Amino acid sequence: MTAAAQTPALLAADAALSALGPQPFPLPLGPLAPAVAGAFSAMSRGDWAFAGPRGRVGATLRGASPERLVDPIAGARPYKLAPVSDAPGSRALHAVGAALASKRPTLCLLGPASVASGAFHEALNVGALTGAPAVFVLLLQEITDDAPVGRQLAADPVALAAAHGWHTRSANPTENDVHDAVTAARDAGGPALVCVRIPRA
């Protein structure tokens, strides 16, 4: 399949996973689907992936069945999908550690709650100090005015990553653009962050 052909397959797998009653509850990808498809398709199947409850369905593009992904804490080792951590920001540190241990690029999908965490800032520092080939894909979706949370980021995460010496790129929320940006980040040979800003639906 080409990069552009991955989103429909991912949305079908996402619907199948939602129908199975995943833990803690169904979290459909919605407008995040093209970015998740582009990110997973740009990485090698031998690269570890760290994703949250929504993004873990990207492992179906590596051959995992939706049934295998119902319990996020179990992970999916044959497909190089790490278990979902309780604290969203912790996955950034875990991804840097996996990149160091495996000496391979490691994908990490993050959202606003992850980057608002102190663990994200620690991961930026450790990644910069060690040169770990972690590839963070930051999915920033605009929240609606009636959302039960307020502003979570005081500074631009791309500027923070760049200040730490990370390679940074921005991508439009299309599968091909994210695929190209993640491919370039993976090939950069060190820590990299790709920011995808997703407008309100």
* Residue pair 36/109 in contact by the 8 Å Cβ criterion: yes
How far is 187 from 197, CA to CA, in rounded Å? Answer: 22
Residue 34 sits at φ, ψ, to 5 deg, of -60, -40
What pLDDT does 2 receive?
Answer: 46
| Torsion sign (Cα): 177, 150, 85, 160 | positive
Tell me the CB-side half-sphere exposure of residue 135, using CA atoms within 13 A. 28
Between the alpha carbon of residue 38 and those of residues 34, 173, 178, 180, the distances in Å are: 6, 9, 5, 8
E-strand stretches of 59-173: 106-110, 134-141, 167-171
Give residue-wise pLDDT tens across range 55-89. 999 999 999 999 999 999 888 889 999 999 888 89
| 107, 40 contact by CB (below 8 A) | yes
pLDDT tens digits, residue range 131-152?
Answer: 999 999 999 887 666 555 556 6
- pLDDT at 155 > cutoff 90: no
Residue 94, pLDDT above cutoff 70: yes
Mean pLDDT of the chain, nearest integer: 91
What is this structure's pTM? 0.93
Tens digits of residue pLDDT in 161-171 = 999 999 999 99
What is the DSSP code (8-state) at residue 74? T
Residue whose tokens read 């278990």: 83
Report the percentage of the chain scoring pLDDT > 90: 73
Q: In the chain, what percentage of residues exceed pLDDT 70?
A: 93
Three-state secondary-structure class, residue 107: strand
Ordered domains of the chain (ranges, CATH): 3-198 (3.40.50.970)
For the stretch 122-131, pLDDT in tens is 999 999 999 9
Q: Is the peptide bond before 24 cis (omega within 30 degrees of 0)?
A: yes
